Structure 1
Amino acid sequence: MRCLVPSVTRWSSEYHAIVKLIRLSDDQLNDICDRLSVSKLHPQEITFLKEYTTILQPLCYSIDLLQGEKNCFFGFIVPTIISLKAKLAEKMTQTQFSSQILAAVIKAIDTRFEKVFSSHEARVAASTIPKFRLWWLADVEREEMKRQMIQEASLINSAGPSVGAHSTTANASKGPDLLEDDDSFFTFETAVTTSTTVEEEVHRYLQDSEKSLVSLKMYPTVKALFIKYNTTLPSIAPVERLFSQGGLVFTLHRNRMTDKHFEMSLLLRYNRLYLTVD
């Protein structure tokens, strides 16, 4: 078995290393200690390490999830943290040695993500992901969040017709004969109808049970909201991986590449899984 080496820049690496060792039997652990000429683990130490991996498994899962590059968006942060706090609180009564560790983790989460919990952008981003919608919110908060979504969707929807309005104004400047009638100029009823359509779309989206992102094709305004608020990455890990890939491309033997050539080579290497060959 190859042991994992913990890294100071990734807390989860230490967790995974301990998990791999704890999966060994007591006889295997004792045999390893004998071969390495180190003191054998005390039964209480083994019990502590097993408890450590059990209670912190949700935290490790959350970190790995938010550092992922596939199917992870800005809207994942708030639901993930809320679910993480609930799971850690459940384990508080199951601990023998680690209650202080759990308390410290929960306090750190509240301190670190206090602004994110109240962030309008983060809440809208989560609500526009079909996997979550408003299920992660308390019942008393759902109506308010629904109202905010309708308001945001109406703003996005009104941005489209405003472009057409400039076109209508330009045509009108060519002469009054280009206007079909007076009713085509006054569009108050049209605006109300558009607002109602947006409201109905948001209601249909929130009542839908489909959890895949493909379902957003049925709700174009909600999809536009999703793109607007979920473009931001939840973690810098994908960016760091991109820098690591750059180090593999820009080597001593290829240090005379132009910036454009380097960028093309890097993107081809990084996106090779998405390339299709005709």
Structure 2
Amino acid sequence: MEAVEAGPLLEQDDGLEYQLPKHHRCACHLLNLVATVDVQAVNEDRIYIKLSRSSFAKCQALWNKSSRSTSPTEIIEEHCKLQLLRPCETRWNSLFYAVERIVRIVKEQGEAAIAAICSTLKIPMFSPAEIAFLTEYAKTMSPVAKAVDVLQGEANVQMGWLVPTITLLKSKLQNLHTTSKYRGPLVDALQAGLERRFGETLADPELIAAAILVPKFRTRWTTDEGIIKCGLDYIKTHLKEQSSAAQSGDSLSSAEEEDFFLSIKQTDQRDGNTKQLESYLASPTDTMDILKTFPSVCHLSLKLNTPLPASAACERLFSTAGMIFSPKRAKLLSENLENLLLMKLSKRFC
């Protein structure tokens, strides 16, 4: 056997046409970092820091008690008619849903229910200011949680959903900023985190074009004419490249090569692609079927919107494969594993 250095082989330019596509970071993971890491960076407002630390410390104590045995679980269900949800580090939005459940219990059963639980379980009770803080926290984080739920879908979500979702999320947070008592620093931290982690994404012409080529959005998701122009310029450029590529493929025949007026036909085809784009943008229909009416626009839309904005679908696939490929079934052939995985994931379509 002969040892070969892999580094020089990878650096060689052998003229192969195949290469990895552009790398996109998982949007849901970035939103999770905004909602956790960036929010913890708030260090200017002392009132917010004090309320945040005390509120979440009492919430964590309540979650810990409820997870240790069945007795606290029965006490919570008796007083609140609901069970608490506990945060999980491997699941996005789990902290929001856990806090939202506490706020829901206070709203439906009253503060006396939470006070009775804390007294029985010997946990420090929540003050009215802390209850108000958790309520505003849940209202503020609700748009972020909904954005994560949208982007981690796998049935009707394409890459073109990313930029409109983050743009509308920033707009919703800005509207919340004007009607807040405790959540001003929280909204500022969320907006700063979105700008830092998604700033380049929101200005990417390819992603803007992908959003425009989704009939649900087109150009209605923003009022910034500069952003729309950037996306339309990208689309027009690539539609011209498509027509040029098609013409170069058709020009192999001798009849086309000898056509003196070929340039006129090429101009007509480019104008036809431009008219398709204009007709697509003017169409009132917002279903994906409308793309079939415009072949060139549909081809470019499929190219840009085939990727997913988040890795949630891939993680679900690996999680399902891990449950199938257990230690007791470690000798499964790759073909059998693939068939079992396909049957498991496709059962909801049957």
Q: Same fold (TM over 0.5)?
A: yes
| 1:199 aligns to 2:265 (yes or no) | no
Matches within 5 A, 1:53-132: 53-132=138-217
Gaps of 5+ in 1: 173-178
Structure 1 counterpart of 2:297, one-letter code: V
Matches within 5 A, 1:86-235: 86-141=171-226, 142-166=228-252, 168=253, 172=254, 179=255, 184=259, 186-235=261-310
| Residue 226 of structure 1, CA deviation | 1.1
Aligned-partner Cα distance in 1 for 2:300–2:266: 20
Identity within the alignment, %:
29
2:95 aligns with 14
Give the number of equivalent residue pairs. 264
| Residue 118 of structure 1, CA deviation | 1.9
Aligned-partner Cα distance in 2 for 1:118–1:146: 13
The runs of at least 4 consecutive aligned structure 1 residues that moved more than 3 Å come to: 142-145, 179-182
Cα contact 2:216–2:286 (8 A) shared by 1: yes
Gaps of 5+ in 2: 1-81
Aligned-partner Cα distance in 1 for 2:125–2:201: 45
Q: What's the CA shift string for 1:66-102, capped at 9, x where partnerless?
A: 1111211111111111111111011112111121111
2:315 aligns with 240
| 1:36 aligns to 2:121 (yes or no) | yes
Q: What's the CA shift string for 1:106-146, capped at 9, x where partnerless?
A: 11111101221221211111110011111224353234533
Give the SS at the match of 1:222.
helix
Distance 1:180 1:151, change over 3 A: closer
| Residue 28 of structure 1, CA deviation | 2.3
Cα contact 2:239–2:297 (8 A) shared by 1: yes
Aligned-partner Cα distance in 1 for 2:293–2:171: 33
Cα contact 1:92–1:99 (8 A) shared by 2: yes
Structure 2 counterpart of 1:190, one-letter code: K
Cα contact 1:156–1:224 (8 A) shared by 2: no
Q: What's the CA shift string for 1:156-189, capped at 9, x where partnerless?
A: 23333432322x1xxx3xxxxxx5995x454111
TM-score, length basis structure 2: 0.71
| 1:2 aligns to 2:83 (yes or no) | yes
Aligned-partner Cα distance in 2 for 1:260–1:116: 39
Distance 1:105 1:10, change over 3 A: farther
1:176 aligns with none
Cα contact 1:88–1:102 (8 A) shared by 2: yes
Q: Cα RMSD between the aligned structures?
A: 1.9
Cα contact 2:250–2:256 (8 A) shared by 1: no
Distance 1:12 1:181, change over 3 A: closer
Give the SS at the match of 1:23.
helix
| Residue 27 of structure 1, CA deviation | 2.6
Structure 1 residues 150-159 or 117-126, which shifts more? 150-159
Structure 1 counterpart of 2:341, one-letter code: L
Structure 2 counterpart of 1:40, one-letter code: M
| Residue 40 of structure 1, CA deviation | 2.0
Q: What's the CA shift string for 1:202-233, capped at 9, x where partnerless?
A: 00111112111121111111111111111221
Cα contact 2:239–2:273 (8 A) shared by 1: yes
1:175 aligns with none
Give the SS at the match of 1:97.
coil
1:274 aligns with 349
Cα contact 2:256–2:262 (8 A) shared by 1: no
Distance 1:223 1:250, change over 3 A: same
Structure 2 counterpart of 1:251, one-letter code: S
